[in-house]
Amino acid sequence: MRSMERIFRDTIAVKERVLQDRTLLDAADAVADAMIATYRSGGRVYFCGNGGSAADAQHFAAELSGHFIFDRPPLAAEALHGNASHMTAVANDYDYESVFARALTGSARRGDLLVAISTSGDSASIVRAAEAARVHGVSVVAMTGAGGGALAALADIALRIPSNETGRIQESHIVFVHAISERVEHVLFADEYKLPAERPCAFESADVAALPRP
């Protein structure tokens, strides 16, 4: 069994490798830019993952639909596992591998964006969701480990964490979740609403019209 100190040293080492990977950091900037472009065109961003990656998917969606650094209008962001009745019905009537693909097919439009999270890159339900996205004109961002798997091959942009250990991959994924959320929030809202970094008064619901869904 590894000590607490060893685990912390291991996660720091992975993050150091991320910092040294200019291609990976540029890809993260590209993800933020793709989200910004999606929102500016009136689109939505969807997320999917299993287990810990499902938690990361829901976390990512919450940073956008709620807020991250400061109060501002909400952004359209949805984790596809949020409807338990859909998940259990599709898994029971079809198969589990179809749960995210069917949810995406029913809700997404051309020009939307899917963030698909799988540490291995080979989770069948996540790969199938990415395949459905390609069919329906939805851009795909993959968040994986070093190998990338089948998911990375389907992605427009792939964030491959330089590790093959699930825990270390997920720890770096969440750093990217926060970094991308901060960039998206600031680019879309900070100048327009002149909001300080501290929490100002909340916006009225009418402000949601700033980024309408066509």
For the chain, the average pLDDT equals: 91
Number of domains in the chain: 1
Q: What is the pTM of this model?
A: 0.89
What is the span of the domain harbouring residue 72? Answer: 23-188
CA–CA distances in Å: residue 48 to residues 17, 103, 144:
26, 10, 12
| Contact partners, residue 133, CB within 8 Å, separation at least 6 | 104, 108, 114, 116, 139, 140, 154
pLDDT > 50? residue 209 = no
User: CATH number for the domain including 96?
Assistant: 3.40.50.10490
106 by Cβ neighbours in 10 Å (0-12 / 13-18 / 19+) ranks as: exposed
Mean per-residue pLDDT, 125-149: 98
In a domain, 42, yes or no: yes
Task: Compare 64 and 193 and report the one with higher pLDDT.
Answer: 64
H or E segment to which residue 140 belongs: strand 139-144
pLDDT > 60? residue 117 = yes
- Tell me the C-alpha distance between 67 and 74, whole Å: 7
In a domain, 154, yes or no: yes
pLDDT tens-digit profile of 151-189? 999 999 999 999 999 999 999 999 999 999 999 999 999
